[in-house]
Structure 1
């Protein structure tokens, strides 16, 4: 059986239970006989699991929209381009009819449904070529993947419907599922990750291209670290516990000596990487870099999206952080007018540069799902919240030392409020364009203050942009199509 055809079939089976797929598929359930025939061998379950991982490459959310929602939506980047729905992210004017919101909801739930297929079918397979150890690993990987997808939903939308099994009926009471509370969703994520940890290995062997592609204990611990920090009632003892589990893992994660190596395209699956999307180029390429890179790199002359902001550039310059700035941003003249940087054609503007190879819409450039630098700073945040700002400063110093910056000021080292700001700023400079900023602002309770105090001037009018951020902007609206299809849903 052709594996791509099989994965496509798995995707259709998974999609059958989702309201977002109703326009495409007949919702009559596939017969039990067909399902039993489809999952009798370990190779079939392995192929289904590959289909779950494939969602990282095929979903617009994991390819690019996560950067729009984290960096463009915040103070890091402007929208650029010419797409009204993306400008809406920039100006905090996201409506329920924004098609990008609908697409990400559908993409992520489709991935969850594929994970549910594996979780249901893998335990039932009796195949001498499918060892008990490997079966356990497959189940652990599926638990991790379902948890990761729900994590992205809950931090964007708040409480969402929990779909924990494949749909076996098309009765309204079975497919019209109400939203669980945010606390219930986080509890399920934690439960799934605890199940995953009992089954996942630290590594799958010596091949980094496998260890960084698949869920491991390191990935599950990294996600638990972030989950316990991001939920409305954070538990910083747990954040520290799971950060330490990553830092001390037998997988041997280490900071790379050269920050720029993380993003040059030649050092993926490196020692700092915990998990990354495995774009390989060609027919398994990443199209997103073409959306960001300047004409000298992309080979085209149309206006690009995700333009670095004055506020981000000022933050790099204020700290003298040339190493991370040069790895993240490239200044170049642009054959178009940019309303924030210069209102004249062929003026120099900054371009997003953490992905550096366009490769004609088929780049091998990758997004890190987790890397050690992020987790070290999460531990610093936990230590500070637990009353140990000096310990937090020591961890920030590790990150700064790599890029040649001075240590944290002595006046800040024992000041919890000061260190909170230091850590937030350090995460901004370390992780720009890595889909982290909005979460960081939310977790620190400063979104409204940051967005409403930005001094960004539209050069077309000479007027300061009023982002007018309110509590209503903290979560995304539930897509209107989902509300129309599912009367059990309630809008944010």
Structure 2
């Protein structure tokens, strides 16, 4: 087993002493500055501030601010790259190279977030301060276990085999900071081990304030993520996933489905369906992501936008008669630029990604759901299908369909495990488009190769279809070249 408790590279390990606490008041706490893991974090306020730094990665990381949609929706059949960035075109066309700078940025940011969680896990048990109750110490540890698991889930679904780093490392010894990759199963085992600890330590709620309960990790969030991990791993564990989901449903947090449009209108934050969401509250606690894809009438600018919804996605909404989710997800508008898929002439009407609806001059408060019940309900249907409980699975899918005024699944949909799985995959696409889920879903359902190779998208400049040339070697993105150069023990992805 190649599980090594080290940091990824010298540059990051030397920088972390400063960056661990250079963070925002994500949870309305005041972070400290210029502490180190050797002499800092020895009282209640400091360990709370270290935890703030761990949460802050959801705001500061490019991956969670926007690149999650690029890696999941643009790389799949949901969206085109749009814009004019060659590195994003690589994601769209499935030609990603190890030197693509987005790889290193996201790899480094996510491992940085893991290092922050590791510091909390190491230091919280050592704090001797009467202001830190044992109940709160346990909660802090549970939150840190959850955060580390969430970031490893991001890593393993994006890169596959990755190094496991479960301690914060202060050494710069090359023999210490050159970890090998762990297998996917080893990474998932670590994720589920961390989540088991989190579930045992975290409350269902922290009280009656939704702005706290939806901002912090809870037992419900840990169970929801564990269900995703149990299904996403190379050999799914359907019964374990179902058990985790039943725990979410029985939570005293009382998660419930709400009106679909309310999820994305910017006026119903921390709602009953939300399990965990990033708490953007305005500058400086804001997100620049929506500015990148909203149309000129909303963004206030005139440059070509990114993450353009695909013909294939729009056709999927039309085929199902799904007006409610389409209108919550996509907005058409005429533009003063040429779009190679929607209109090879200025003035064409093209669709825009619309689940985030307020640009606010690069300081949007629109929030990304990290976990929500609609996703979990469809995961439950998936687990039930894996257990050959097809009627029960259909009941769960129909819960999702009924709230957007669509009819129940047909008898043919429920005829076999294969037909039921296809119905669930199709439903997840319509429900979760532009939420950073599609690529993982295609991989989990073993359809990513066939879907991408059968995708017909015509480039209007040439009249020819795009050739994606998808094969299994492209399921995961390459290890960043800079990491391969620094660490001779890392091997490239195929």
Per the shorter chain, which TM-score range? Answer: over 0.9
CA contact (8 A) 1:221 1:245 kept: yes
Residue 60 of structure 1 corresponds to which residue in structure 2? 62
1:191-230 aligned within 5 A? 191-230=193-232
1:150 is matched with 152
In structure 2, the partner of 1:89 is 91
1:75–1:454 contact (8 Å) kept in structure 2: yes
Q: Answer whether contact 1:18 1:110 (CA < 8 A) is retained.
A: no
Distance 1:370 1:22 in 2: 29
CA contact 1:247–1:376 (8 Å) conserved in 2: no
Give the conservation status (yes or no) of the 8 Å contact 1:20–1:482. no
Q: Does the 8 Å CA contact 2:7/2:165 hold for their aligned counterparts?
A: no
Confirm or deny that 1:280 pairs with 2:281. Answer: yes
Q: Distance in 2 between matches of 1:64 and 1:443?
A: 22
Shift of 1:323: 0.2
CA distance in 1, matches of 2:13, 2:193: 33
Deviations 1:97-136 (A, max 9, x none): 0000110000000000010110000000011111000000
State whether residues 92 and 473 of structure 1, in contact with CA within 8 Å, keep that contact through their aligned partners in structure 2: yes
Counting only pairs closer than 5 Å after superposition, residues 349-428 of structure 1 correspond to structure 2 as 349-428=350-429
By how many angstroms is 1:38 displaced? 1.1
Q: Aligned-pair distance for 1:168?
A: 2.9
Trace 1:131-142 onto structure 2 (pairs within 5 A): 131-142=133-144
Partner of 1:11: none
TM-score (norm 2): 0.94
CA deviation after TM superposition for structure 1 residue 27, in Å:
9.6
1:54 is paired with a residue whose SS is: helix
| Matching of residues 175-194 of structure 1 within 5 Å | 175-194=177-196
Partner of 2:24: none
Q: Once the two structures are superposed, what CA deviation does each residue of 1:119-178 show, in whole Å capped at 9, x if it has no partner?
A: 000000011111000000000100000011011101111111111111132211111111
Aligned-pair CA distance for 1:25: 4.2
Q: CA deviation at 1:250?
A: 1.2
Task: Work out the CA distance in 1 between the residues paired with 2:36 and 2:164.
Answer: 26
1-structure distance, mates of 2:15, 2:197 = 32
- 1:212-248 superposed Cα distances (whole Å, 9 cap, x missing partner): 0000000000000000000001100111111111122
Q: What CA deviation, in whole Å up to 9, does each residue of 1:28-47 have, x standing for no partner? A: 9x9xx964531211110000
Task: Please give the per-residue CA displacement for 1:401-447, whole angstroms capped at 9, x wherever unaligned.
Answer: 00001111122223222111110000000000000000000000000
User: 1: distance between equivalents of 2:45 and 2:451?
Assistant: 51
Q: Deviations over 1:65-113 (max 9, x none)?
A: 0100000000000000000000000000001000001100000000000
Q: 1:172 and 1:411 mapped to 2: Cα distance?
A: 59
Given that 1:17 and 1:27 are in contact with CA atoms closer than 8 Å, whether structure 2 keeps it comes out as no
TM-score by structure 1 length? 0.94
In the superposition, relative to structure 1, how do residues 26 and 168 fare at CA in structure 2: closer, same or farther (>3 Å)? closer
- In structure 2, C-alpha distance between the alignment counterparts of 1:107 and 1:280, rounded to whole Å: 22
Q: Which of 9, 12, 25 is the matching residue for 1:19? A: 9
Matches within 5 A, 1:462-477: 462-477=463-478
- Cα distance per residue 1:372-409 (max 9 Å; x no partner): 00000000011111111111111111001000011111
Corresponding residue for residue 170 of structure 1: 172
Give the distance between the partners of 1:248 and 1:397, measured in 2 at CA. Answer: 20
Check whether the contact 2:12–2:112 (CA below 8 A) recurs between aligned residues. no
| SS in structure 2 at match of 1:245 | helix
Once the 2 structures are TM-superposed, how far is the Cα of residue 198 of structure 1 from its aligned partner? Answer: 1.2
**Does the Cα contact within 8 Å between 1:380 and 1:391 map onto a contact in 2?**
yes
Q: Distance in 2 between matches of 1:211 and 1:26?
A: 28
What's the counterpart of residue 238 of structure 1? 240
Q: Is the 8 A contact 2:73 2:434 kept in 1?
A: yes
- Distance in 1 of aligned mates of 2:105 and 2:274: 28
- The partner residue of 2:106 within 88, 104, 107 is 104
Q: CA deviation at 1:24?
A: 7.4
Cα RMSD for the two superposed structures: 1.7
Consecutive unaligned residues of structure 2, counting only runs of 5 or more, are 1-5, 21-34
Partner of residue 120 from structure 2, selected from 90, 93, 118: 118
Q: Structure 1, residues 278-321: CA drift from partner, whole Å, max 9, x if none?
A: 11112111100000100000000000000000000000000000
